[in-house]
Amino acid sequence: MARPLPLQDDGARTAAARADDAPGGFVPRVRHVPPAQRVAAAARLVTAVAVGLVMMFPLYWMVTLAFSPNADVFSRELHIWPSSWSLDNFRTVFGSFPTATWFGNSVVITAFVTVLTVTVNLLAGYAFAKLDFRGKGAIFLLVLSTMMIPVQVLMVAQFRLVTQLGIYGTFWAVILPSAASAFGIFLARQFIIAIPDELIEAAKVDGAGTLRIFLQIVLPLCKPLIAVLVLLTVMYQWNDFAWPLIALKDSELFTLPIGLLYLRGQYGADYGAIMALALVSITPIVIMFLAFQKYFVQGLARSGIR
């Protein structure tokens, strides 16, 4: 029975693929376009442009303020465009705050979490999909049910746990709890279960053990899955706020979102500096999103994590 690989059969993938393969949505060449249809097409375009402007404006405004001299930020007059371009805010952010350190912390934590989470996701997904052990169904349900539990419900218990482990205030306090991602395990299991059992049986006949089957048969087939898991984990961890806010106390160890909040606490209404740091903090993820939009959309479409 040929079961379709879930990620390839997903509606969102088709959505993304069709959107990207379609010739930019240009009007097909029809000889006679009735005026009513032309009006409708124009109305659609105007609406889309208006929506695009509304969606873009906060980002545009962030960039503008980040590059504006302070006089513009604090003036009561309207400046839609900076009166002059200035790097002062970036000098403040990098000169008076450990921004480079925060950036490095975010990179290190995100890298560790991503490697750890994706590894656990794949191993657990493989076990739930292809191995037989007692209580498999019940354990899988238990894992799934943790998706329903909000982080905020767990934060007190998790805080006590990392305190008792003696890792409170260290990177490990942020990294270790993040490795348990029920959603990633679910995604991996759904993907791996579609790999034909015959492949695995054949490898067993050839004398391959479980680990070898995993590494040499299953993993090479999981590239699209790994791409989605990596992108979503990176995005989630890079942006994560509530838990690192609780788990880290030393400002030298902050990640960028916590640093942003700290900067705001110190500088109050200096929006120029705040927006400069905000811009620094979102740039890597925005670039990643633009480069891998297809995978992002596909992954998000089947997730609901944000």
Partner 1 sequence: MGLANYQRLVADPTFWQSALNTAVFTLLTVPLSLALGLGLAVLMNSVLPGRRLFRTLIYLPMVISGVATALMGVLLFDEATGIVNKLLREGGLAAIPWQSQGSAAFTSIILVTLWIRVGFNMVIYLAALQGISPELYEAARLEGAGPWQQFRYLTVPLVGPSTFFLLIMDVIYSFQVFDTIFVMTGGGPGRSTSVLVTYAYENGFVTRDQSYAAAIGIVIFLLTLLFTAIQWRGNRSRDTAG
Nearer to partner 1, 130 or 302 (CB): 302
Q: Taking the complex as a whole, how short is the minimal distance between the CB of residue 73 and partner 1, in angstroms?
A: 7
User: How many angstroms from the chain centroid is the CA of residue 263?
Assistant: 24
DSSP state of 253: G
Tokens 């009166």 belong to residue? 83
Give the contacts of 23 (CB within 8 A, at least 6 positions apart).
none
Residue 39 engages partner 1 in binding (rule: CB under 8 A): no
Residue 2 engages partner 1 in binding (rule: CB under 8 A): no
CB 214 within 8 A of CB 263: no
Residue 124 engages partner 1 in binding (rule: CB under 8 A): no
CB 273 within 8 A of CB 92: yes
Phi-psi region of 286 (alpha: psi -120 to 50; beta: other; left: phi over 0): alpha
Nearer to partner 1, 128 or 238 (CB): 238
Q: Taking the complex as a whole, how short is the minimal distance between the CB of residue 214 and partner 1, in angstroms?
A: 31
Q: Taking the complex as a whole, how short is the minimal distance between the CB of residue 202 and partner 1, in angstroms?
A: 35
What is the footprint of partner 1 within residues 145-174 (CB under 8 A)? 148-157, 159-160
Residues 63-82: x where in contact with partner 1 by CB under 8 A, - otherwise, as a string: --x-------xxxxxx----
Residue 201 engages partner 1 in binding (rule: CB under 8 A): no
The Cα–Cα gap between 163 and 278 comes to: 30
CA distances from 212 to 93, 127, 206, 207, 208 (A): 49, 14, 11, 10, 6
What is the footprint of partner 1 within residues 240-279 (CB under 8 A)? 241-242, 246, 256-257, 260-261, 264, 269, 271, 274-275, 278
CA distances from 204 to 3, 34, 96, 130, 301 (A): 21, 65, 60, 13, 36
Using the rule CB under 8 A, which residue among 9, 11, 87, 216 binds partner 1?
11
Residue 51 engages partner 1 in binding (rule: CB under 8 A): yes
Using the rule CB under 8 A, which residue among 167, 200, 208, 301 binds partner 1?
301
DSSP state of 146: G
Residues 79-118: x where in contact with partner 1 by CB under 8 A, - otherwise, as a string: ----------------------------------------
Size of the site for partner 1 (CB under 8 A): 77
The Cα–Cα gap between 156 and 116 comes to: 23
Residue 44 engages partner 1 in binding (rule: CB under 8 A): yes
Residue 197 engages partner 1 in binding (rule: CB under 8 A): no
The Cα–Cα gap between 103 and 130 comes to: 40
Q: Counting every residue, how long is the chain?
A: 306
Q: Taking the complex as a whole, how short is the minimal distance between the CB of residue 288 and partner 1, in angstroms?
A: 8
The Cα–Cα gap between 73 and 75 comes to: 6
Give the contacts of 46 (CB within 8 A, at least 6 positions apart).
none
The Cα–Cα gap between 89 and 218 comes to: 49
What is the footprint of partner 1 within residues 274-293 (CB under 8 A)? 274-275, 278, 281-282, 285-286, 289-290, 293
Residue 199 engages partner 1 in binding (rule: CB under 8 A): no
Q: Taking the complex as a whole, how short is the minimal distance between the CB of residue 108 and partner 1, in angstroms?
A: 17
Q: Which span sits near partner 1 by CB under 8 A: 20-28, 87-95, 136-144, 188-196?
A: 20-28
